[in-house]
Structures are given as C-alpha cells and as structure tokens.
Amino acid sequence: MTTIHDRTVRGFASDNYSGIHPDILAAIAAANEGHQVAYGEDVYTARLQEVMAEHFGAGVEAFPVFNGTGANVTGLQSMLPRWGAVVAASTAHINTDEGGAPERVAGIKILGVPTDDGKLTPALIDREAWGWGDEHRAQPLVVSITQSTELGTLYTPDAIRAIADHIHPLGMWLHLDGSRIANAAAALDVPLRAFTRDAGVDVLSLGGTKNGAMVGEAVVVLNPDASTGLKYLRKLNMQLSSKMRFVSAQLVALFEGDLWLRNAQHSNAMAARLRAGVEAGLADGSIRGVGFTQQTQVNGVFATLPPGVADRLRESFRFYDWDASKNEVRWMCSFDTTEEDIDAFIAAIARETSA
C-alpha cells in the first residue's frame, strides 16, 4: 500500500496523533515469525511479566489489554463489588472522556470531586468517602488518581503515599490511571515504582500508546489482595487479545530498556520549549494576549488565547479546545515532536496574536 496521508502535517492535539516508534515497530515485526500460543500463553507475554517485576517488584502481574479505557474499566471492575463506587477528580478521564464506560460497561458509580489542578488530596477524598453501610448510597471503596493528571499536573510520591495511608484504613483501594505514567516519572526523575507500589498504589493502568506504542496498555496488579477475577473480566470486557504476543512485544520493547523514559523526556522537553517560547514572546511583545492556566510539568501546555486566534491557528496546526467558554486550549507534545515543530508553532502564535 502506498502512503496516502500527508507526512508533513504536524499538530499538538494529542500524543495519540503520533506514529509508532521505530523500535516498537521493529519489535512487532520481530514477533511476527512463526507460531506462538494464542491468548497470552506466548513467550512475549511471559517476558512482559519479568519486565514488570523489574520495575515494580516481585509478585506483580500484568494483563495486556487493547486500550486505556479497557485498562481502567477492567482494572476498576476487578477491585469492586457490584455495589462499589470510585472516588475520582471530576476532571478524571474515567469521568469525562470514556463515554460512560465505567458506568455502562462495568456498572461502577463515579463519585466526582471538583479540583482546580486535577489532583485529589485526603481532604478532597473525604467529600465523597462516606456512607459505608448505607444501602441507599453506592459504597465508596476505591479512589482513582491519574498520574500525570488530565491537566498536566503531577503528584509527588509523598502525595500519593498520603492518599494511600488515608484510604487504606477506611477499607478503600487505590487505583492509578497511568496513561502518561512515563511522562510523570521523567518529570519527577524517579523510578516508576517510587510513586506506584512503594507509595501504596494497588492496581495500575500502565500506558503505552501515548508514548510510542501502536496499540496496547496493561492492567498491572501491584497488590493481589485488591483485585480479583481479572482473568475472566478481561475476556468479559472484550479486552483479551487472541494474538497477544503483538501487544506484549510492544510493551516489552518500550519498558525493557529505557525507551519509555527517553520518549517521555523528549515530549516533556518539547512542551517546556513551547511554553518558554511563548513566555519569551509575551515578554518581548511579539506574542500578545496568551495566558496559562496550569503548570507545564509534563508534555501538555494549557493556555488561553484571544478570541478567534485558536481557529486561525488550527488552519495549520491541529489542537483541541479545553474549555471553549474561556478560550482555553490544550497543546500536547509527543515523542516525535521536533524543535522545528515547536518553533514553527511559536512563530504562528506570534503571527496570529499580533494580527
């Protein structure tokens, strides 16, 4: 098949827009020769278990799935009885961007807590962590946090440990949505384990697609006491890949060495370059009327633009509105974003805000 898309088009809409990292594409090809047992009884899925143990310690188990929604829904479902509820930030992906899948597929009530920076604290969790034993209230039995958050902010390991130490005595488990976990680790400059298993996280959704994989995430059970039935729930939720070796091979290629870290460091650095360039333009007057609504800690920049500027910019660079009511937009950088991409975008921002 010939290439039918314009390979010169670049954008800042999502790190899902990027292609596959060449090393991961090569890993898929390497896994393609010969036959392997289907449904996860293959050597690549076995190797993935070893790689996950290297990152998170002995006794963990990884369940490869197709996508992040599948990981979140299946992982959370394994942590809860039918009457259980999940406390999450109101901005959490499971609450706003998964089409109601936790409720409609898993039958899970989401108890959303408003938070300006996308992060929960013990005090915020307590707003919804109550009513145990009341048959009229869905029982809050899991807290789900996102690292890095949907607003591009970070939890420190100590902040996650504070949440775990607060909720575990209440009989609640801690789930972490790690669709951009690599970006968080790169920004914090700590191992993945430092803010997951060592900080009291029980079940993890491990992201790969946003960091260079083609397709594939994993539910990683860090605390076996917190999860049950994943072997059956993965199939029930249509997340059991028959040719699982190709999902596992991608995650092995990403996490076996430091590819996951190098990709995340690069995308974070490109976001920092974008923000610094816009701030420099604001300082010298070449850019006007742009503001920032969140810290730029990982690979996303949240900004406000003068009226009409976003639509004009989108004629050349795709990106999404975040809150159209206040002209807030989100710019995401990827593992393959280049310095030239950033500089061209900054020049376009200067041109359109000065028009």
pLDDT in tens, 141-198: 999 999 999 999 999 999 999 999 999 999 999 999 999 999 999 999 999 999 999 9
Q: Which pLDDT belongs to residue 7?
A: 87
- Judge if 179 and 232 occupy the same domain: yes
Residue range 52-60: mean pLDDT, rounded:
98
Q: Which pLDDT belongs to residue 39?
A: 97
With cut-offs at 50, 70 and 90, classify the pLDDT of residue 310: very high
Question: Domain span at residue 103?
Answer: 31-256
- Judge if 265 and 135 occupy the same domain: no
Distance from C-alpha of 287 to C-alpha of 297, rounded to nearest angstrom:
22
Domain termination site, one of 256, 271, 296: 256
- Neighbouring C-beta atoms of residue 225, cutoff 10 Å: 8
> Is residue 18 one of the residues assigned to a domain?
no
Residue 197's domain is classified under what CATH number? 3.40.640.10
Q: Residue 113 in contact with residue 154, Cβ under 8 Å?
A: no
- Judge if 167 and 282 occupy the same domain: no
Over residues 21-38, the pLDDT tens digits come to 999 999 999 999 999 999
- Judge if 198 and 292 occupy the same domain: no
Q: Which pLDDT belongs to residue 6?
A: 86
With cut-offs at 50, 70 and 90, classify the pLDDT of residue 1: confident
Percent of the chain scored above 90 by pLDDT?
A: 97
Distance from C-alpha of 315 to C-alpha of 168, rounded to nearest angstrom:
50
Residue 197 CB contacts under 8 Å (≥ 6 apart), including other chains: 56, 57, 60, 222, 223
- pLDDT surpassing 80 at residue 71: yes
- Judge if 238 and 307 occupy the same domain: no
Domain termination site, one of 216, 234, 256: 256
Residues facing residue 11 across a β-bridge: 318
Residue range 240-249: mean pLDDT, rounded:
98
Domain termination site, one of 224, 240, 256: 256
pTM above 0.85, yes or no: yes
- Judge if 307 and 250 occupy the same domain: no
Percent of the chain scored above 70 by pLDDT?
A: 100
> Is residue 134 one of the residues assigned to a domain?
yes
- Judge if 139 and 127 occupy the same domain: yes
Residue range 259-271: mean pLDDT, rounded:
98
Q: Which pLDDT belongs to residue 352?
A: 96
Q: Which pLDDT belongs to residue 14?
A: 95
Q: Which pLDDT belongs to residue 321?
A: 97
Q: Which pLDDT belongs to residue 8?
A: 86
Distance from C-alpha of 199 to C-alpha of 161, rounded to nearest angstrom:
4
Q: Which pLDDT belongs to residue 304?
A: 98
- Judge if 269 and 252 occupy the same domain: no
- Judge if 264 and 218 occupy the same domain: no
Distance from C-alpha of 273 to C-alpha of 276, rounded to nearest angstrom:
5
Distance from C-alpha of 21 to C-alpha of 264, rounded to nearest angstrom:
12
Number of H helices, E strands in the chain: 13, 11
- Judge if 87 and 196 occupy the same domain: yes
Question: Number of structural domains, the chain?
Answer: 2
- Judge if 85 and 200 occupy the same domain: yes
Q: Tell me the residue ranges of DSSP E strands in 194-342.
A: 203-206, 217-221, 291-292, 300-304, 320-323, 328-332
- Judge if 116 and 41 occupy the same domain: yes
Residue 278's domain is classified under what CATH number? 3.90.1150.10
Give the length of the chain.
355
